[in-house]
A and B are shown apart, each in its own frame.
Chain A
């Protein structure tokens, strides 16, 4: 076991898989010789060389498409879209090509590509560099979506993603790159479709992702002082989604609060809420509440950004509301 940051966990996962499998290559803007804009991929270029760690020009559609073509021809590219907000200029290659080639071609193609991207607010990076867009990718059949909240989850999920024979969107919240935690030094894979109960409880189920997991856990601590026992469930992968773990928890607690940094309207929480309402209706003692970002772009000013990102107080208020306080 070692203590590592989430960023180090990502680096380590890539390094171990590149050692293991010569078909794994890494590509993206500034990820090679410069080590990545926030240093996440530092050292990999020096270790594996420029043939396997490729600094691309700023042409996302071009190099995301190239990753698709390379994957179709037997390589296993990890391609970085620096900020998920930039997916717009390249989205066709992800959702019309990578996601659909296997199906459209009658099962013949295999696109084992990982698209890593930074997401999330909290660094005052403003509207075009701070979004959470996971629901967009959940909505596309043919791709998988993973979103770690801890170094342990990041390393295991990324190794799974690299080994997966499907295109995987791997979302790294930029404000928790520095979060430290324990993780094994050797390689291990966390399967997709396996949620993690980060905290056990009996009074309410809080489903949270990425940076909101930490906030939900802090909120749960404070709620415990008020005699409320909150269970925090981290889906870890949003597609496939571990419905069973969420439903089992809801059947136990009878109350569900969903927290995500995405805008609420048509966000990932809407899918989880609909699923729970459909499949655990008789177990619910209160309406399902979602604690989310408001329906606006991410603002720049620190005074506004702090209002934008769901706070512990808002999580606690939602819990108290479903408990009828």
Chain B
């Protein structure tokens, strides 16, 4: 599974883009320039970046309420995302969806989802459509340990197993379902135990090691493309910020959070070090790259702030298709 230099730089850029986007969103919510609920993906970037690095435009993903990372990794335009978060008419969804409902069907992004566990059945369906049409397209379904207990996840896995659907279930195990730690919401330690129960191949990887995610993802996607059915990939990670912006996080210790931000745990410094060690990028090149991505995000905010708000007549459009 040769990773070219370009690909590695791409993956790093994706992770930085997600990180800087989310940090900006954090700031904008804190200053009330973005309203509603936002759920930040900070700390989990390696999963979206590692998985989506394999995907074609025609492949689909289903996402979660914590969806900005998946959207960016699948090619979503940060300008349009930012405008959507600001509720502008030139946002991805004309300002009518917001953070939890951003979608881009041209990029196979079947939407972030405000319903925990809402995505996996839809992903199974998207995979079904690919199979039906005789393509080798796949669908990646992202969900968390919090969602893993939902009936929908079990039902989707069962369907995928019975019908050998080309769907990859990516379980982002950040150790918390909202405010409740994993040990208190399930008796299993690894979702691979459940994958076994559905006779689906399961693998658990360090979700903060983007290469490990990339490699596991590559195998699973190949398996699906060849018609050999689903895979469950558990990615162990950590959610640096609260469940939503504004979550005081009383259920976690500051020490625990800080430990995952260390240079050897945070997925971005870890990968950055690897890029430098392998002479893929020099520290200066990394600085420049970071700066250019930072500029992208600033431009996105500018674009969003200058955008128009939707007019009242927009309330009743797109309730139905023609």
Contacts and interface: CB of A to CB of B under 8 A. Distances in A.
A74 interface: yes
Nearest to A58: B155
A104 B97 contact: yes
A104 B118 contact: no
Nearest to A65: B121
Contacts of B93: 104-106, 108
Nearest to A112: B321
Contact of B103 (A25, A70, A105): A105
Contact of B156 (A62, A71, A77, A165): A62
A141 B154 CA distance: 29
Contacts of A100: 101
Contacts of B129: 69-70, 73-75
A273 interface: no
Interface stretch (A89-97, A114-122, A257-265): A89-97
Interface size class of B (residues with CB under 8 A): 35 or more
B56 to A, nearest CB: 14
A107 to B, nearest CB: 4
Interface string A56-86: 1101011111111111111101000000000
A80 to B, nearest CB: 15
Interface string B57-77: 000101000000000000000
A166 B320 CA distance: 6
Nearest to A68: B122
A20 interface: no
A69 B320 contact: no
A70 B126 contact: yes
Interface size class of A (residues with CB under 8 A): 35 or more
A27 to B, nearest CB: 9
Contact of A110 (B121, B156, B162, B321): B321
Contacts, number: 152
Interface string B207-238: 00000000000000000000000000000000
Contacts of B139: 69
Contact of A69 (B126, B163, B321): B126
Nearest to B102: A105
Contacts of A109: 103, 105, 110-111
B94 A106 contact: yes
A71 B115 CA distance: 19
B120 A65 contact: yes
Nearest to A92: B115
Nearest to B97: A104
Contacts of B317: 107
Interface in B69-93: 91-93
B122 A57 contact: no
B159 A62 contact: yes
A63 B120 CA distance: 11
A151 interface: no
B124 interface: yes
Interface in B123-174: 123-130, 132-133, 139, 151-152, 154-156, 158-159, 162-163
Nearest to A59: B155
Contacts of B162: 57
B140 to A, nearest CB: 12
Nearest to A109: B105
Interface in B285-322: 317-322
A164 B152 CA distance: 27
Interface of A: 25, 51, 54, 56-57, 59, 61-75, 77, 89, 92-93, 96-97, 100-112, 141-142, 144, 165-166
8 contacts: A68-B125, A69-B121, A69-B128, A70-B129, A70-B132, A72-B110, A104-B96, A106-B318
Those 3 A-B pairs whose CB atoms lie nearest each other, nearest first: A65-B121, A69-B125, A62-B155
